[in-house]
Structure 1
Amino acid sequence: MTSRHPITCHVLDTVAGRPARDIRCVLSKLQGSEYVAFAEAHTNADGRVVLWNLLGADTPASLANFNEAAKIVPADGKSIYKVGFTGVEDYYNGDTFFPFIEIQFIIPAGAYGTEHFHIPLLLSKYSYATYRGS
C-alpha cells in the first residue's frame, strides 16, 4: 500500500484553529460534460485525505487501482477533477452558510503520475479559501 495517492486534500477549521476531522470528501473526474465520482474518503484526525476508497469499497484503493480509476486523457491532454467536500454541513451541525464545497482543478497533460496534487481547504462557517498545495 502506498503512503498517499497522487491527489490529496487537507481541511483546516480556521476559526477553531484545528484540523477539520471526519468531513466526507468525494473525488470526481470530468468525462464529456459531466463529472463522474470515483472515490471517497473522510478527513482523518489531522484533517487530511491521503488515501481514497474507490466508490463502493470499504478500504483504501491500491495505488494501481486508484490510478486506473483516476486516469482520463481527453483530446486536449489535460484532465479536470473536483473534490466535493460534502460533509461541511454535518461538521458544523447544520450551522453553516456553505453546506458543501466543490473545488475544481486541472491536471495538465503529462503531469498525472509525475506530480502530486494537493487540494487544501481553509474553512469557517461563513467563508472558505483554497490554493494549490504542495
Structure 2
Amino acid sequence: MGLSTHVLDTMNGCPAVGMKVWFYRVSGGQAQLLREMVLNHDGRSDDPLLEGDELRPGTYRLCFGVADYFRSRGIELPEPPFLDVVPLDFGMADPVAQHYHVPLLTSPWSYSTYRGS
C-alpha cells in the first residue's frame, strides 16, 4: 500500500513547506539512510517513501529538520534550539496490506505524531 508523511507547522498554522526530512530503515541498532527529501507546498513528500517491492515489515525512522525549518521562516531560536532534528521511530507490521501515514505536527517547542490514514 505505501508509506507517506506530512508535516504541519502549528506555530504558523500552515504546511511545513521546505522542511528537510531523512528516512531510514533500522535493523540491529543500525540505521540505513533510504532517502532525503524536502517537503513540497503541502508539507508532504512528492512521492511515497516506500512502495512496491520496497515494502517490508520492520522498524523505520523519519528525522525532521525542525530547527532549520523555523530558522528559514525567520524565527529566532536559542543555541542550541529546544528541538533541532526530531527523530520518529515506528514499526510497520503489514505494509503490503495497510497504508502507513506518519504525520508530524510541530512548533519550535513541541511536536506530536500519530498513525494517520
Q: TM-score range by the shorter chain?
A: 0.7 to 0.9
CA contact under 8 A between 2:20 and 2:69: conserved in structure 1? Answer: no
CA contact under 8 A between 1:30 and 1:79: conserved in structure 2? Answer: yes
Q: Report the alpha carbon displacement of residue 15 of structure 1 after superposing the two structures with TM.
A: 1.6
Secondary structure of the equivalent of 1:80?
strand
Q: How does 1:92-107 map to 2 (within 5 A)?
A: 92-93=70-71, 95=77, 96-107=81-92
Q: Percent identity?
A: 33
Are residue 83 (structure 1) and residue 62 (structure 2) matched?
A: yes
Secondary structure of the equivalent of 1:92?
helix
Letter in 2 for 1:30: V
TM-score (norm 1): 0.73
Q: How does 1:34-113 map to 2 (within 5 A)?
A: 34-51=30-47, 63-64=51-52, 67-68=53-54, 71=56, 78-85=57-64, 87-93=65-71, 95=77, 96-108=81-93, 111-113=94-96
CA contact under 8 A between 1:28 and 1:37: conserved in structure 2? Answer: yes
Are residue 126 (structure 1) and residue 116 (structure 2) matched?
A: no
Q: Which has the higher contact order (CA 8 A, sep 6+)?
A: 2
Counterpart CA distance in 2 for 1:50 and 1:133 is 17
Counterpart CA distance in 1 for 2:11 and 2:36 is 26
Are residue 14 (structure 1) and residue 14 (structure 2) matched?
A: no
Extract structure 1 runs of 4+ deviating beyond 6 A. none
CA contact under 8 A between 1:120 and 1:130: conserved in structure 2? Answer: yes
CA contact under 8 A between 1:26 and 1:84: conserved in structure 2? Answer: yes
Of Structure 1 and Structure 2, the greater strand share is in 2
Query: Which ranges in structure 1 are unaligned for 5 or more consecutive residues?
Result: 54-60, 72-77
